[in-house]
Chains A and B, each alone.
Chain A
Amino acid sequence: MKRLLLTILLVAMTANAWATPEDDRLALRQFFSQRFPNLDLNETINGLYAFDEGAREQWLEMEDFPPYEIAIEDGEAAFNETFANGKTYADCFANGGIGVKQDFPYFDTDSGEVITLEYAINQCRTDNGEQALPWLTGKLAEISAYMAYTSRGKRMSVVIPDDPRALAAYESGKEYYFTRRGQLEFACENCHMQSAGNLLRADRLSTMLGQASHWPVYRSKWGDIGTLHKRFKECNSQVRAQPYEAQSQIYRELEYFLSYMSNDLEMNGPASRR
């Protein structure tokens, strides 16, 4: 009897560990619906502008001449360049790379790895004898911005295949998101769930929901367009945790988890933020 009770207790304590990714996603939507009863969850793709009316007005005005526009144009030109072997980026992606961003990241069952869009772009280059591009800004971010642009309006649809390695990668990203770290002992969750919508200095913190829908982003603070992993590194540094390399396994798994949480939301990249 004692043993049975102990088993039941353990099952109850580890219930979260057994939640499926879809359970997690629905729980997250429920969490934000309860936290912000008047917020249309589809608006979360706009980050802080979903909460802050004044900032939203400024942002909408900025969207008339968006600062990421040049990145899209440059990205399109770069995307259409031909490699030395005569192939192009279009040869590496489904549908010629147009309107495919919503399917990234995906789990590659052959390599057993999470493949993000930027990772796939550089993989395409190296497979065709070209040098890999720097991960954080520049040409890679521009190509990614153009590809994201062609996916605008589509719904995020990240898949976790029936493969224990894929689930393990998702769980690893989830653990990273909820683990406190750094000298300030902050988890991603502390800012983007518990404190979402609250002011941090002059800005409101965005929700975890919708966080992966709009990358790459032109940040005024950076004065440039940058990738999601640039932001991961920055977030880690802000809590004084040693950041990882962009496109490291742990960051790709984090992106996998984060993107799955935004499934069904509209793709709206690239975007501009303060």
Chain B
Amino acid sequence: MVRLRAASGVEPMDIKVMNIKLSVLIPTVLAGLMLHQPAIAKDAEAYGAALIKARASLAAAAEQVQLWTTSGALLKKATLAAKEGFFEQAIEYADEARMHGELALATALREKKVWQNGVPELETQQ
């Protein structure tokens, strides 16, 4: 029986056991990677869709001369998170940016109807 001692000080391991472990581990890792690829692509796709929606929402708000200072930062955060592969987080940021755009647009449309309520009117002396 050959005994191996790892340089890092790992406990000696039976080479047969190691062979068995590797024969299980390698296919498992490969299979995992193969399965993970479509998942990443799906996440990236979902992020892309969220980003498109966010941009459209912000463009609509900008058209009404109403944008929040917070939206741009959220889009930046979304892009950064996506670059690093954190798609779930990136989608969250993009969705938040979209909501900011929607709320800004809602304010703009409402204000078009009510802004004059604040204008003082000249009261004539009785």
Contact = CB atoms under 8 A, between A and B. Distances in A.
A181 B107 contact: yes
Nearest to A187: B118
A30 B69 contact: no
Interface stretch (A69-77, A219-227, A236-244): A236-244
B55 to A, nearest CB: 15
B123 A179 contact: no
A193 B118 contact: yes
Contact of B115 (A14, A30, A187): A187
Contacts of A14: 116
A185 B116 contact: no
Contact of A19 (B66, B71, B122): B122
Chain B, interface residues (CB within 8 Å), range:
20 to 34
Interface in A154-176: 174-176
B119 interface: yes
Contacts of B66: 181, 241
Contact of A27 (B69, B71, B108, B122): B122
17 contacts: A15-B121, A24-B119, A27-B122, A30-B122, A30-B123, A31-B120, A175-B115, A178-B116, A179-B115, A180-B115, A183-B70, A187-B115, A187-B118, A194-B118, A237-B69, A241-B68, A242-B69
Given A19-B119, A190-B118, A194-B118, 4 more contacts: A19-B121, A180-B107, A240-B70, A250-B65
Instruction: State the 8 A-B residue pairs at the shortest beta-carbon distance, nearest first.
Output: A242-B67, A27-B122, A31-B120, A27-B120, A16-B116, A178-B115, A179-B111, A178-B118
Interface of B: 62, 65-72, 100, 103-104, 107-108, 111, 115-116, 118-123
